[in-house]
């Protein structure tokens, strides 16, 4: 089976991890700050806080923005469940804004319509979490304009998108948001095993997130509440978590980050190949907003009507042909947990359309020419039957 995504680990990555194993610190040593600085520099953000997953990063990002019981957080229905769960962890209620039918990212016009209604009802969101699906940025300038008008904060869920750009700036620069979150899970663009990071240009948000990732504890005398603290003194100032990234993971991150541009270039090359070969096929290839350059975490096609026996049949044929196709994602509100919170299938019509015909084809840097040929051949055969 050709997987839809796979990490690319080289000897340099292995050497980087081994050198941490032989060093004094497996965790809380120099590799984490080095990785944070490298990502912040690469993405043109002032601050970066490394954690053990993007899910943790989303959680502490929500908390730093003051999300709590009684607050509302809105996200996209076409995302991994973590984008919504983070708000629920904080005791907030979640709602979903329908997607743009061309980019499959949160639609700025659907957001505007929902905000207009929410304002009348006195139910505006505190935080909105747009998701850069497949690695392509949402229309952040439009979302930012709405955030200014309606007074909400914005967290970019960029779990798919490190290495992409929006209006010629790296995703992560937070030009149009308060915080941007990356994931370093092995299927994502670069990996640390498990891992995530929150980027921001706001020093206060960065300080709060740093505190929350490590039990709410500070060891920095300059920031302690005690006057004249003893040498052994540390303070827990908030209810935090153990969300720290280990140095082992961060060393892998530094090594992977050095190859980010190569990885994205390889992904883009595969996307171009699919675009060209599938142009005449009975599927819709991904639309690219000219303001963006995608990191190509995913390559998503939409099937057409009954071509290839219809969506499910085509999916099954491709799996049977050894192609590890996937569907990213079922609308989050259709998950049993969210249904129990009161959401019903059909809630977001464009998300439903998408769910009825989307398929992710394999795309990863180490994919060989033979493998990508196998994919397009299998697609052509599955459609022809």
Ligand X SMILES: *Cc1c(COP(=O)(O)O)cnc(C)c1O
List active site positions: 188
The residue range among 157-165, 283-291, 304-312, 358-366 that interacts with ligand X, by the rule CB under 6 A, is 157-165
Selected binder of ligand X within 59, 160, 317, 334 (CB under 6 A): 160
Kindly tell me the sign of the dihedral angle through the C-alpha atoms of 62, 258, 163, 328.
negative
Per-residue DSSP letters for 62-91? HHHTT--TT-EEEE-SSS-THHHHHHHHTT
The answer to the question of residue 7 lying near ligand X (CB under 6 A) is no
CA dihedral 48, 52, 53, 58 (to 10 degrees): -60
The answer to the question of residue 191 lying near ligand X (CB under 6 A) is no
Please tell me the distance from the alpha carbon of residue 117 to that of residue 98, in angstroms, as a whole number: 14
Which residue's CB is nearer to ligand X, number 159 or number 251? Answer: 159
The answer to the question of residue 185 lying near ligand X (CB under 6 A) is yes
The site for ligand X, by CB under 6 A, has a size of 14
Q: In the chain, count H helices and then E strands.
A: 13, 15
Q: How many CB atoms lie within 10 A of CB 144?
A: 15
Structure-block tokens of residue 219? 């060891």
Query: Which phi and psi angles does 200 have, rounded to 5°?
Result: -160, 160
The answer to the question of residue 159 lying near ligand X (CB under 6 A) is yes
The answer to the question of residue 162 lying near ligand X (CB under 6 A) is no
| DSSP summary character for residue 172 | T
The answer to the question of residue 156 lying near ligand X (CB under 6 A) is no
The answer to the question of residue 17 lying near ligand X (CB under 6 A) is no
Which residue's CB is nearer to ligand X, number 82 or number 127? Answer: 82
Structure-block tokens of residue 104? 């499959």
Which residue's CB is nearer to ligand X, number 311 or number 328? Answer: 328
The answer to the question of residue 157 lying near ligand X (CB under 6 A) is yes
Radius of gyration of the chain from its Cα atoms, rounded to whole angstroms: 21
In terms of Cα–Cα distance, which of 62, 85, 57 is closest to 243? 57
Q: How far is the CB of 263 from ligand X (least distance, A)?
A: 16
Selected binder of ligand X within 20, 32, 39, 54 (CB under 6 A): 54
Q: Which residues contact 350 (CB under 8 A, 6 or more apart)?
A: 98, 99, 100, 101, 107, 110
Q: How far is the CB of 305 from ligand X (least distance, A)?
A: 29
The residue range among 18-26, 104-112, 146-154, 155-163 that interacts with ligand X, by the rule CB under 6 A, is 155-163
The answer to the question of residue 84 lying near ligand X (CB under 6 A) is no
Report the largest interatomic distance among the alpha carbons of the chain, rounded to a whole angstrom: 78
| DSSP summary character for residue 306 | T
Selected binder of ligand X within 59, 60, 67, 79 (CB under 6 A): 79
The answer to the question of residue 53 lying near ligand X (CB under 6 A) is yes
Query: Which phi and psi angles does 299 have, rounded to 5°?
Result: -120, 105
Selected binder of ligand X within 5, 135, 170, 196 (CB under 6 A): 196
Query: Which phi and psi angles does 202 have, rounded to 5°?
Result: -105, 110
Please tell me the distance from the alpha carbon of residue 142 to that of residue 31, in angstroms, as a whole number: 37
Which residue's CB is nearer to ligand X, number 134 or number 379? Answer: 134
Q: How far is the CB of 287 from ligand X (least distance, A)?
A: 19
The answer to the question of residue 36 lying near ligand X (CB under 6 A) is no
Which residue's CB is nearer to ligand X, number 297 or number 317? Answer: 297
* Residues contributing to the site for ligand X (CB under 6 A): 53-55, 79-80, 82-83, 131, 157, 159-160, 183, 185, 196
């Amino acid at each position: 089976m050709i997987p839809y995504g796979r990490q690319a680990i080289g000897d340099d990555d292995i050497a980087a991890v081994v050198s941490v194993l032989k060093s004094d610190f497996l965790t809380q040593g120099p590799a984490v700050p080095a990785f944070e600085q490298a990502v912040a520099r690469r993405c043109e953000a002032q601050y970066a806080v490394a954690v053990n997953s993007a899910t943790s990063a989303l959680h502490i990002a929500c908390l730093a923005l003051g999300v709590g019981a009684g607050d509302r957080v809105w996200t996209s229905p076409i995302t991994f469940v973590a984008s919504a769960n983070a708000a629920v962890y904080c005791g907030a209620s979640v709602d979903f804004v329908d997607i743009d039918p061309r980019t499959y990212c949160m639609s700025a016009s659907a957001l505007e319509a929902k905000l207009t209604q929410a304002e009348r009802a006195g139910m505006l969101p505190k935080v909105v979490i747009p998701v850069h699906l497949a690695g392509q940025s949402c229309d952040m300038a439009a979302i930012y304009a709405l955030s200014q008008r309606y007074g909400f904060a914005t967290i970019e869920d960029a779990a798919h998108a490190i290495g992409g750009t929006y209006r010629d700036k790296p995703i992560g620069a937070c030009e149009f948001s308060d915080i941007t979150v990356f994931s370093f899970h092995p299927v994502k663009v670069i990996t640390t095993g498990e891992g995530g990071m929150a980027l921001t240009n706001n020093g206060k948000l960065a300080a709060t997130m740093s505190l929350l990732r490590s039990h709410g504890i500070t060891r920095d005398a300059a920031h302690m509440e005690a006057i004249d603290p003893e040498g052994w003194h540390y303070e827990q100032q908030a209810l935090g978590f153990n969300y720290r990234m280990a140095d082992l993971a961060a060393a892998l991150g530094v090594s992977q980050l050095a190859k980010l541009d190569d990885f994205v270039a390889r992904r883009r090359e595969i996307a171009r190949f699919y675009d060209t070969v599938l142009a005449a096929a009975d599927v819709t290839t991904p639309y690219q907003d000219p303001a963006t350059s995608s990191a190509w975490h995913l390559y998503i096609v939409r099937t057409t009507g009954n071509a290839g026996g219809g969506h499910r049949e085509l999916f099954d044929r491709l799996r049977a042909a050894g192609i590890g196709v996937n569907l990213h994602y079922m609308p989050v509100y259709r998950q049993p947990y969210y249904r129990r919170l009161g959401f019903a299938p059909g809630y977001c019509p464009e998300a439903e359309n998408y769910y009825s015909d989307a398929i992710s084809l394999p795309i990863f840097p180490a994919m060989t020419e033979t493998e990508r040929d196998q994919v397009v051949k299998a697609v052509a055969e599955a459609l022809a039957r």
